[in-house]
Structure 1
Amino acid sequence: MPAFYPPLFGALLGLIIGSFLATLIVRWPEDRSVVGGRSACDTCGHPLRAWELIPVASYFLQRGKCRQCGARIASDHIATELVAGLIGGLALLVSPDIDGLAGATFGWLLLTLAVLDVKHHWLPDRLTVLLALSGLAAGLFSLEPGLPDRLIGGIAGFASLATIAAVYRMIRKRDGLGAGDPKMLGAIGCWLGWQALPLVILGASLVGILVAISWRWRGQSVSADSMLPLGSLMAVAAFPLWLLQTGSGGALY
């Protein structure tokens, strides 16, 4: 089989899954059914036909607008599809086997949590638990890192940020971290193992600094009270670490 087949399959699968994730990201915070009912324009309710639901292609065929009412299709919808496709392609490029499919699942869950955190400052417990359980399940299939490292990673990830949040609250008399952030790091630890946790925090910190610099460059104020979505920052750091970890045969640290 040609070497480009697995990543191509991963990219195409990612585009399809990305379309579903983009819909989930829009509907879930509004308490609307994600799977029930026919897909329709969020502005006018126009039911979408099959050719209007082709990931990425439909967006360009319709010039980014609803055919019925002319309302613009949110650009973050196609961005979610494209990023999901990239995640699937990279995961199966690095590991064209079950490990790659597992890594793609890791990336798609991280993507969903990251976008929800950016848009709504919300890390749903159900999705975070699914991230953690799927990571532990991957360890049962003897995928690296091993299950003991993943279990320790889950406990250490949650406990470390929960302790920091408690100390901060005690000293500053206000919350410094969201309630979902410790759970998010614990879930990431269930995938990458405890050894990778410092790298996740380091990576998230570097991405956060870049975000703050971009805010200042655009004229936005940045202060100690500025809210940065830590869950999203950790997600951005975690998937590249999985790629490096898997590509190096688990010898990243």
Structure 2
Amino acid sequence: MFASIFTLTAISLDRCLSIWVVVWAQNKRTVCKARLICVGIWVTAAICSTPYATFRTVSGDNGTYYCGYSMTHEQEWSLHIFRFVMGFVIPFLVIVVSYVAIGIRAMRMQRTRRRRSRRIIFSIIFAFFICWLPFHVFNFIELKAVNNPDLRNIVRIMGPLTVSLAFLNSCLNPILYVFMCEKFTKKLRQSVCFVLESALAEDHVSFIFTHSMSSTFSRISRKSDAATTLEKINPAAFESCTESKVVITDKTLST
């Protein structure tokens, strides 16, 4: 969870800096630094996930195993608050501020490009908010449901849905961050059109070759059938025709 969210936060900051500080971004944004940032993101995510690995316990009963946390109720509240702040509040604020700054700079663009930029910015912010907020809200409801049977039933039903919704954000990210990019969609259309044109061209060439070969074989077959018929009807005429062809061929070779 933390690695995915921190990566989205870094992407939003990178886009904001590349638009507002153009010269600095062109000189300082390198592949090596991007790799270091990715390593830093994963190290930070591992550190943030350390409490969950520390307090995780596995208990078994009649061949059934359950995963839980060995901690007090106060520690659970502290852990959920930490995850909510580090995994939602701070990244969401950074993403909103970054894309609002990008939207302000996009006001200088043409009207069509401005509308497209607004739509992409709104989609990214809305997708992050609507996918991750229910997950964190139900984590707090789960803590309240310890002594409340009604809340436990709600958590039992809605809990898996909120987890699935949070995972859905990772499925939406390629669409929001890649497929909605104008250059990528243009290249994708060109590549798809090229593949279709190549496939149609190959089919057309194959059809022409097959048709020409079948026509050639049919002509040869008709000639052989005609020769066979002539031989059956008038053998003397067939032999004289064959001899004349041989004589013509000999004269041609002698000249």
**Do they fold alike, i.e. is TM over 0.5?**
no
> Considering only CA atoms, is the larger Rg found in Structure 1 or Structure 2?
2
For normalisation by structure 2, the TM-score amounts to 0.28
For normalisation by structure 1, the TM-score amounts to 0.29
Q: Which has the higher helix share?
A: 2
Of structures 1 and 2, the one with the larger relative CO (CA 8 A, separation 6+) is 1
